[in-house]
Structure 1
């Protein structure tokens, strides 16, 4: 028991020791609770006396009671307030419960209305989507009011503006889009819209046609605007309307071209820059040249205007219409042009001027053919050129006949040949006229046909007249005269192209006359050399020739060889061409040489029994040939 008590005391001392140590180890400056407690204690424990220390515990307890009373009093007020709040909450809960009951009752009563409202809300949303779709559909497949006004015009005479074509393109676009709409299953709507767009398009094209036609009708010298060009490209899909517009344009421009042509003929260009073309009527070449030069300048301008008008059209499909329109425009000048040209052709008598006019007409006919094809103008120019050609050929033929006529005028023949057998002056005169005409003909296109006709018009009657006048002459004289005339003609024609055939024909006739002269000259030589009997013997194949004949022949032959020209016919010297004289002489000498060679062979043939042939024929054929050639 004592041991236990001692142990308890020891434990108590240890505990006290631990507390003391703990108190000693405590650092008051860091213990917030202790500091707060000491601060609270300092508020009422002012004096550290024994009595106060003894009463400290009771004061603390009393102060604690006061504090608890204050807390209780404050808590009581809180409780009273909380109770009021709870009362209010209970009241509110009852009200909420009542409202809930009322709401459930109202909900039960308005369930159908709410369902209907929700349904209507959904329907409204669906209709709004449909409205948006419908508005988008109408915007894509219908024209707006401004577009409709643009297409049909606000007034009857409203002009066409660039936006018109944009709206027309939109109509075509909608019409095309309807095909895609049909593929999506909206055939009925697509067909209705297509029909509506077709009506719009037809109405718009009808308005465009009237505007374009009126514009073309009043088109004078003003340029063709881009709106007209665009209008023509749209109207080309309506061939009838397109043709009507082209016809209207061609009629208007034809009248303008004719008026301008008449003004150029009678008044000249505005401002006095040029005189009237009719003032040059006294100069036929210039007069006709000025008229065609004006047409050559004006008609291509009309073609350029048509090219601009057809600029945006399909050229391949409309080229024929364009050419017809140009032909119609150009045909208007045919009548005034024809009257003036034919007046000049019928009044002019100079063959050279008529030929120059004919070539001028041919030149412009080829030029105009490259610009205007078909129509009356092309055929008119062809006929006019043919007429001018006939007129100048007839004038040339008349001039030839007047030169070839006898003074009495009874026969178309040259005057009788003179004693010198040279061509008469009329031959030279006609050939000079021919050269003058051919000098112009060689510088123009198509000259081959012209040269051939001109030469035939002059040479053929001239040859006939020469042959007629020579027919009364002796053979040799006639041959020399014809040869001289033919030579003169041939010399004139040789220098010109395309005359090969004609020159060959003249050469053939000259060769015939040369053959005639050669025969006559050879016959004369045979007679003068006493070769007739010997030649007869040679032809009869007799081998024996009398020596007397040979001696007579050789005596004359020797004299002939000394002076070959003595035995030539006098007419041979009258041949104008030295080449022809030489040819006749050479050929006739060759005849004598051939006969001499036969005689020489007979004499020197031992079988014929001629003694001392060297005494009879001392010269060999080769020697004779050399002498005659010399």
Structure 2
């Protein structure tokens, strides 16, 4: 459009016929063209102007170009007039607003005046109201403090009655109040820490009185409950366990309560034991017959009493176990708290305050004191009224067995075990006394040994008794606990005196009867003791003694073979001879080796050999161990052969030396071997 506008601007001069000099027109045209070409169409003002022209729809005519500026200025003037009118309206509105603001300012000034006057009139009232409000807050705070103090540190009359009155029961409410009073007593430390300690001291004194009364009530209630328990099977209820746990905070009352309970149970168990023994009418519901009526055997009588005591101990322990084991830690803490509040009751600081199992064992032991006393009397009566040593020993072993059982139940420190120790020692004393009386009676009857050299009757009876004692000991716990040391005193009383009697009989015998008699007795003893491992030490000692007697019999048989064969003469002749050549050459000159004597010795040997073993065994025919007879004889025969080899060797050596020197002599005398032809090999064959 701008291009058409320029074209239209360039035509009028030629159309109107206006003449101008050519050079001027050319310059004007070139300057316009240059101006047009130098204009920047990117300028926003130019662009806005061109857009305004387009919006108006103006045609590029001379009239339009002449009127364009006027039209534009007219439009601007009209716009400015409209703006002035609008601002006039605004000014009027602002005037009205100013008038309103002035009115408001006057109203505010009036209100400030009224407010100032009101403040002057209400000032004293507000000050008084503020003071009253502050006082009210102080009163409310004091009221809250008083309520808190009363609710925490004061106990109502109803609660005090529940806590201290013996008419009221010991129930959950009692324990709740007691717990609250204990807390009050503990929290009094806060009150004692203030400047005014009077209130704290009063509350502390009051709470102490209430606690003491409450514990006294609890103590009396527990004693009453103990009296109403089932005596046959006393099961401690939950309320009693809780009461004892709480009462433990007063160790003195707690111990006194246990003492009274122990005394009561001791009396009850003593009566029950007496009823079990005699079947008295005071004991109801007896399930079995009285022990004294059906236990005719003394050992069974003692065993039944011990069994009853053991069964009662187990029942008593089970009934009281929940009291000390399940609540043991709580009781210990309660006692610890009580000792802290009562430091004068403390003992050794290193000892444990409360051991539940130990306390249980001590209480059960005290409950059984009466039973143990009655058991001791009856058992001692049984032991002392019988002269049978085996009965006393069986009773001692039975008591030892139950002592170990009670030690496991009640601990090694139980006082009941002292009774068992006393009974066991008493039974052993009676056993030793009975055995010594029996030995004294036997010794007065001992005269001579039996003709067949068998063990005497008193030893057989003693061994029969020893079998019973060993069997009793073997079934006891001591057989495995002390490695047989506990049986040594029994052997000293029941065996050694009889062996000593056999030794006295042996001293008056000749050989070999004394050794045969000793071996028969020792083998009889060994046969009894070898069945038990706990007697291995004594069996070993018996084996040593047997070996000594076997050696004596072997030597006796050896001497018998030497003398009966005539070899003793040759051995005695060679006793001073050495193995040197000069000494060997003198052997033919010895009296025993002269031809006649040597021939006689050879004949005596030949006559002896066929029946040598039979004759030698005949010497030991009263020895009961047949195998040992054979062994002893064979060993003696071996020694005889060794002696014969010595004689043979020296004779051969002497012959060799003699023949070497006189070998050219044709009329030489016969050698020693010619006169004594038997060889050691032949001897061994004949004596085998």
Shorter-chain-normalised TM-score: which range? 0.7 to 0.9
Tell me if 1:562 matches 2:598: no
CA displacement at 1:183 relative to structure 2: 8.3
CA distance in 1, matches of 2:614, 2:359: 84
Change (3 A) 1:419 1:303: closer
Hey, what's the Cα distance between the residues in 1 that align with 2:448 and 2:524? Answer: 17
Q: Matched residues in 2 for 1:507 and 1:588: separation?
A: 20
Match of 1:353 among 391, 400, 413: 391
* 1:263 lines up with 2:275 in the alignment: yes
TM-aligned CA distance change 1:125 to 1:202, over 3 Å = same
CA distance in 2, matches of 1:421, 1:265: 52
Once residues 264 and 532 of structure 1 are traced to their aligned partners in structure 2, the CA distance between those partners, rounded to angstroms, is 81
Q: 1:422 to 1:608 in 2, by over 3 A?
A: farther
Q: Which residue in the other structure is 1:576 paired with?
A: 624
- Aligned length, in residue pairs: 518
Of 161, 166, 179, 1:169 maps to: 179
3-state secondary structure, aligned to 2:216: helix
- Residue pairs, 1:355-434, within 5 angstroms: 355-373=393-411, 374=413, 376-406=415-445, 413=446, 415-434=447-466
Contact 2:565 2:609 in 1 (8 A): no
Give the Cα separation in 2 of the matches to 1:626 and 1:184.
121
Aligned residues of 2:519 and 2:549 also touching (Cα < 8 A): yes
Deviation at 1:148, TM superposition (A): 2.7
- Which residue pairs with 1:312 in the alignment? 327
**2:289 alignment partner in structure 1:** 275
- Equivalents in 1 of 2:186, 2:598: separation in Å? 120
Deviation of 1:596 after TM superposition, in Å, equals 0.9
Asked if residue 209 in structure 1 is aligned to residue 219 in structure 2, the reply is yes
Gapped runs of 5+ residues in structure 2? 1-113, 333-351, 578-582, 588-592, 660-669
- TM-score scaled by length of structure 2: 0.68
Pairwise CA distance, 1:609: 1.8
Specify whether residues 348 and 449 from structure 1 end up closer, same or farther in structure 2 by C-alpha distance, changes over 3 A only.
farther
For 1:604 and 1:186, locate their aligned partners in 2 and report how far apart those are by CA, in whole Å. Answer: 132
CA distance in 2, matches of 1:490, 1:122: 112
Instruction: Indicate how the Cα distance of structure 1 residues 220 and 253 shifts in structure 2: closer, same or farther if over 3 A, else same.
Output: farther
Q: CA deviation at 1:540?
A: 0.7
Distance in 2, Cα, partners of 1:479 & 1:118: 131
The corresponding residue for 2:170 is: 160
Is contact 2:162-2:174 (8 Å) kept? yes
Q: Equivalents in 2 of 1:475, 1:561: separation in Å?
A: 23
- Superposed, 1:587-602 pairs within 5 Å as 587-602=635-650
Map of 1:45 onto structure 2: none
Distance apart, 1:539 and its partner CA = 0.8
Deviation at 1:487, TM superposition (A): 2.2
Contact 2:473 2:487 in 1 (8 A): yes
Q: Is structure 2 residue 493 aligned with structure 1 residue 454?
A: no
Distance 1:126 1:532, change over 3 A: closer
Contact 2:455 2:517 in 1 (8 A): yes
Decide whether aligned partners of structure 1 residues 493 and 401 sit closer, same or farther in structure 2, where only a CA change above 3 A counts.
farther
| Residue matched to 1:289 | 303
Does the 8 A contact of 1:534 with 1:549 survive in 2? no
Aligned counterparts of 1:532 and 1:283: Cα–Cα separation in 2: 66
Q: How does 1:79-98 map to 2 (within 5 A)?
A: none
State the SS of the aligned residue for 1:568. helix
Once residues 293 and 442 of structure 1 are traced to their aligned partners in structure 2, the CA distance between those partners, rounded to angstroms, is 20
* Closer/same/farther in 2, CA of residues 484 and 108 from structure 1, 3 Å limit: closer
* Aligned counterparts of 1:273 and 1:322: Cα–Cα separation in 2: 28
Query: Which one of the candidate residues 373, 377, 382 is aligned to 1:344?
Result: 382
Determine if contact 2:397/2:472 at 8 Å carries over to the other structure. no
Would the aligned equivalents of 2:519 and 2:623 in 1 still touch at CA under 8 Å? yes
Q: Which moved more, 1:337-346 or 1:280-289?
A: 280-289
2:464 matches 1:464: no
Deviation per residue, 1:343-366 (Å, 9 max, x gap)? 211222334433332222222222
- For the 8 Å contact 1:219–1:252, the answer to whether it is kept is no
Residues 1:487 and 2:523 are matched in the alignment: yes
Measure the CA separation in 2 of the matches of 1:496 and 1:421.
27
Shift in alpha-carbon separation, 1:528–1:129, aligned structure 2, 3 A: closer
1:180-229: CA deviations, max 9, x gaps?
Answer: 77889997766665554444333322332233244335656253232221
Aligned-partner SS, 1:573: coil
Return the alpha-carbon distance in structure 1 between the equivalents of residues 568 and 612 of structure 2: 19
Shift of residue 450 of structure 1? 5.0
- Tell me how far apart the structure 2 counterparts of residues 491 and 159 of structure 1 sit (CA, whole Å): 75
Offset of residue 178 of structure 1:
5.3
Q: TM-score, normalised by structure 1?
A: 0.73
Using a 3 Å threshold, how does the CA distance of structure 1 residues 445 and 484 change in structure 2: closer, same or farther? same
The answer as to 2:132 corresponding to 1:132 is: no
Alpha-carbon distance in structure 2 between the residues aligned to 1:183 and 1:613: 130
Are 2:401 and 2:477, in contact at CA under 8 Å, matched by a contact in 1? yes
1:445 aligns to what? 477
The CA deviation string for residues 509-540 of structure 1, in whole angstroms up to 9 with x for no partner, is: 22332233233332232222222331122111
Deviation at residue 277 of structure 1 after TM alignment: 1.9
Separation in structure 2 between the aligned mates of residue 557 and residue 517 of structure 1, nearest angstrom: 22
Conserved in 1, the CA contact under 8 Å of 2:520 and 2:623?
yes
Q: 2:546 aligns with which of 498, 510, 522?
A: 510
Alpha carbons 1:220, 1:256 under 8 Å: kept: no
Conserved in 1, the CA contact under 8 Å of 2:529 and 2:535?
yes
CA spacing shift, 1:608–1:551, aligned 2, 3 Å: farther
Change (3 A) 1:490 1:616: farther
The superposition leaves residues 351-397 of structure 1 with CA deviations (integer Å, 9 ceiling, x where unpaired) of: 44333322222222222222335464321111111111222343344
Distance 1:567 1:211 in 2: 97
Deviations 1:556-605 (A, max 9, x none): 32333333225427432222112331233123223321221111111221
For 1:135 and 1:348, the matched residues in 2 are separated by 83
CA distance 1:436–1:128, change in 2 (3 Å): closer
Cα distance in 2 for partners of 1:565, 1:398 equals 47
Shift of 1:239: 1.8
In structure 1, C-alpha distance between the alignment counterparts of 2:517 and 2:230, rounded to whole Å:
70
Q: CA RMSD in A?
A: 3.3
Cα deviation code 1:27-57 (max 9, x no counterpart): xxxxxxxxxxxxxxxxxxxxxxxxxxxxxxx
Are the equivalent residues in 1 in contact too, given 2:617–2:629 (CA < 8 A)? no
Q: CA deviation at 1:339?
A: 2.3
Q: CA–CA distance in 2 between the matches of 1:256 and 1:220?
A: 11
Query: Structure 1's 150 and 367: CA in aligned 2 closer, same or farther, altered over 3 A?
Result: same
Is the partner of 1:318 in helix, strand or coil? coil
Gaps of 5+ in 1: 1-100, 407-412
Distance in 1, Cα, partners of 2:227 & 2:259: 10
